[in-house]
Structure 1
């Protein structure tokens, strides 16, 4: 295995680890997107975990480490449409304040958009 620097992510082994980690995060999102849309509702596990996974992927993408494997930008855009449809259909049932609803949706949109931009910048 090769090593090209003294950093924690400067070796083939670290790249393999990052590849496995990012693949798992992507696979979880893919599974959630292809499953029952109810699982993506605002108060469901994947309704919360999907944006978390996206944020983690974005953080990893911005590091430019070898081994970070990301989906295509078009895939993330498709996920965004699917996710937001489920979120929009479910959020009012939770009776959020208008301010929270507006701010949270903006955060969700930004989360998807930032990852799309990071992928396009690679």
Structure 2
């Protein structure tokens, strides 16, 4: 086992573990995006879990840990198009308040955009 510091993520085993975790988060999103669009509607499990997974990936990536991986920025952009099209097509059926709808849309777009930007930054470093 190679250690490069005393932190909980400063060794090869932790990096491998983090790689497994981030790969799982990415795979779950990829599977949801490739599946039946009904599954990513705003009131469905994956409609909630997809942005949660993306937020977790962003949080991990910001730490700079070895082993944290991100999907390509172009993939994230395609996921955003797919997800937001479903969201926009279904959100009115749930009768949200206009304030909630607008604020939630902003959060969702920012979630995808922040992750894509983190990947672009990673690619440029």
Give the TM bin, normalised by the shorter chain.
over 0.9
Task: Name the residue aligned to 2:10.
Answer: 10
Question: Which whole-Å CA distance do the structure 1 matches of 2:75 and 2:49 have between them?
Answer: 18
Q: Say what the alpha-carbon RMSD is for the aligned residues.
A: 0.5
| Structure 1 outlier segments of 4+, above 3 Å | none
| 2:100 aligned with 1:107 | no
Equivalents in 2 of 1:60, 1:118: separation in Å?
11
Report SS of the residue matched to 1:80. helix
Pairing 1:1-122 to 2, within 5 Å after superposition: 1-122=1-122
Deviation at 1:23, TM superposition (A): 0.2
Query: So what's the TM-score if we normalise by structure 2?
Result: 0.96
Query: In the TM superposition, what is the alpha-carbon distance from 1:69 to its structure 2 partner?
Result: 1.2
SS of alignment partner, residue 99 of structure 1: helix
